[in-house]
Structure 1
Amino acid sequence: MEKRQVSEFNSELKLRGFNVFQIEKDGAATKTYSRKDFYKICMTTGRSKIHYSDRSFDHEGTILFFGNPHIPYSWETISSVYQGYTILFSEEFWQTSERADSLQQSPLFKIGGTPVLEIDEEKRLFLERIFNKMIEEQQSDYAHKDDLIRNYIHLILHESMKLQPAERNKQQKNAASRLTSVFLELLERQFPIETADKPLRLRTAQDYADNLAVHVNYLNRSVKEITGKSTTSHISERIVTEAKALLQHTDWNVSEIAHSLGFDYSTYFNNFFKKQTGSTPKAIRATAV
């Protein structure tokens, strides 16, 4: 794109508040375009590397990219054949819409979000039609074409956010897995019980949640999702395992064992143990060799 053409391109963009174009027909536009005061939605097919804030994304195939003018980014085109569509639009153009939300709070544009989405062929064809509709309206004399363009942008954003749950679920599952691992490691570190005069410090799901600085409901959901068992079940099973070891391999009386496992009264311990095992502590001790 020549210098004069670049100037005209930027002038039209500033005047209208948006500009939509097809990359394969004007391939230099995205390479020479350097203004950072406009949001960008770009659908491209080919191989590219996008540097976005402190992260880099290397993709091959069709992607959707969401550029936020408040976040520094750069784009490297690696493919020799590269095509797609781009729309650039200003915050002022977007906020004219009565239903406009802050773009900086959008999961697609916000800092810390994922600015790149992989697109399958069916979705590519659908979005291609939307971009072509925007190009058609941009060239028309229709009095309300700005509203139509904003509606098309809304549609692209909503279609894109439909692709987000899988990514969010993956991130949530990874977070749940990490929390569950930390919980199980912390649980195991409470054992073995070395002396009867130092009772078990963490006995309830709330105790573990407090220690891990998370809400107990979040801990319970995470552990249940990853292991299929509740936090309380894991704690109870581990206490029972330790109780059996103490009954079989120490000479502590039942009251001492109950106290060491955090029970205020031996009757509480007896009831808990029988509920969990179907047997009494004395019966288990009697089986010790």
Structure 2
Amino acid sequence: MRTLSDFNTELKLKGFNVFQIEEDGNATRVYSRKEFYKICLTTGKSKIHYADRTFDAEGTVLFFGNPHIPYSWETLSTSYVGYTCLFSEDFLDPHNRSDSLQKSPLFKLDGTPILNITEEQREFLNGIFQKMIEEQKSDYPFKDDLIRNYINLILHEALKLQPSENFNAQKNATRRLASVFMELLERQFPIESPDRPLQLRSAKDYAKQLSVHVNYLNRAVKEVTGKSTTGHISDRITLEAKSILQHTDWNISEVAYALGFEYPTYFNNFFKKHTGATPTSLRA
């Protein structure tokens, strides 16, 4: 039996994984990689929380998960079947020839991540997922290209469908954006290894991930929380720095790099500015 560690290692190496959901209520498989997009074709009853929207799903739905937008899934029925596909943006477009998936209406913040699927559509999509599973196990030398074509076929089929109307009414746009930013910020932590450093360090980084202008993000966060976007980011990095310094044996250079600082001196200055102490003094 494969362990979660084996699953994560395989996913990281290939940049892709597809599997069938067992009929035991386990609608989603837990995985720790943060850079993977998800497509789920599921039949059953569930409640899906995406950003600050909630979708009550019954029957068959096609779900598109963006790793930069918080979402969770509550399975409500005892029988739950379907397929899940995980892939990185680099896997889908290794030559960076197309626009970012962040701009797709299926994956962007204000997009349509959940679609109701008819029985005819379910049978067609089932066939595509089954073909991906078969190719994943094959020795065909160009199977990655074939799997990419299957993923793009699912994306195009989804774009032809009408958006679901079952989302709860959207909340105030400003509060919604601020809420998603705060959840996205928290999702960047904890830092698990110096080899996987923090990727989103500035307000511009978060604005890009959320496909909004940085000024709009700053205004929304300030209006709702009373604190600037940069202030929230700095506070969370400081908190993580304290945790790493107290609970790991990483040297200061490793801590600095893990938190996205180019040089240890930059980290030292940042830490002293926000705590009044040096990183080494925390370990004394």
Match of 2:127 in 1: 129
CA contact 1:94–1:100 (8 Å) conserved in 2? no
Question: For the residues of structure 2 that align with 1:26 and 1:103, how far apart are their CA atoms?
Answer: 32
1:213-228 pair list within 5 angstroms: none
Match of 2:226 in 1: none
Match of 1:91 in 2: 89
Instruction: Give deviations 1:152-202, integer Å, cap 9, x for gaps.
Output: 0010000011103787xxxxxxxxxxxxxxxxxxxxxxxxxxxxxxxxxxx
C-alpha spacing 1:22/1:97, structure 2 compared with 1 (3 Å):
farther
SS in 1 for 2:141: coil
Structure 2 regions of 5+ residues with no counterpart? 166-284
SS in 2 for 1:32: coil
SS in 2 for 1:164: coil
Question: For the residues of structure 1 that align with 2:62 and 2:136, how far apart are their CA atoms?
Answer: 21
Match of 1:200 in 2: none
Q: Tell me the amino acid that sits aligned with residue 104 of structure 1.
A: Q
Match of 1:110 in 2: 108
Q: Which runs of 4+ in 1 moved over 3 A?
A: 25-29, 97-101, 164-167
Match of 2:14 in 1: 16
SS in 1 for 2:77: coil
Instruction: Give deviations 1:126-150, integer Å, cap 9, x for gaps.
Output: 0000000000000011111111011
Identical amino acids, percent of aligned pairs = 72
1:7-156 pair list within 5 angstroms: 7-24=5-22, 28=26, 30-96=28-94, 99-156=97-154
Instruction: Give deviations 1:99-144, integer Å, cap 9, x for gaps.
Output: 5431111110111111100000000000000000000000011111
Residues paired across the two proteins, number: 166
**Displacement of 1:27:** 6.3
**Displacement of 1:97:** 5.2
CA contact 2:46–2:57 (8 Å) conserved in 1? yes
Question: For the residues of structure 1 that align with 2:65 and 2:3, how far apart are their CA atoms?
Answer: 23
TM-score by length of 2: 0.55
C-alpha spacing 1:154/1:64, structure 2 compared with 1 (3 Å):
same
SS in 2 for 1:114: coil
Question: For the residues of structure 2 that align with 1:14 and 1:40, how far apart are their CA atoms?
Answer: 14
Q: Tell me the amino acid that sits aligned with residue 154 of structure 2.
A: I
**Displacement of 1:29:** 7.6
Q: Tell me the amino acid that sits aligned with residue 142 of structure 2.
A: H
SS in 2 for 1:69: coil
Question: For the residues of structure 1 that align with 2:5 and 2:164, how far apart are their CA atoms?
Answer: 41
Question: For the residues of structure 2 that align with 1:23 and 1:92, how far apart are their CA atoms?
Answer: 25
Q: Which of structures 1 and 2 has the larger relative contact order (alpha carbons within 8 angstroms, sep 6+)?
A: 2
Question: For the residues of structure 1 that align with 2:113 and 2:68, how far apart are their CA atoms?
Answer: 13
**Displacement of 1:31:** 3.8
CA contact 2:90–2:96 (8 Å) conserved in 1? no
Q: Which has the larger radius of gyration?
A: 1
Question: For the residues of structure 1 that align with 2:48 and 2:58, how far apart are their CA atoms?
Answer: 11
CA contact 1:37–1:69 (8 Å) conserved in 2? yes
Match of 2:183 in 1: none
SS in 2 for 1:135: helix
- CA root-mean-square deviation: 2.3
The structure where helix makes up a greater share of residues is 1
C-alpha spacing 1:137/1:89, structure 2 compared with 1 (3 Å):
same
SS in 2 for 1:70: coil
TM-score by length of 1: 0.54
CA contact 1:44–1:85 (8 Å) conserved in 2? yes
Structure 1 regions of 5+ residues with no counterpart? 168-289
CA contact 1:97–1:147 (8 Å) conserved in 2? no
SS in 2 for 1:158: helix
**Displacement of 1:48:** 0.9
C-alpha spacing 1:159/1:99, structure 2 compared with 1 (3 Å):
farther
Q: Tell me the amino acid that sits aligned with residue 160 of structure 1.
A: A
Question: For the residues of structure 1 that align with 2:27 and 2:164, how far apart are their CA atoms?
Answer: 33
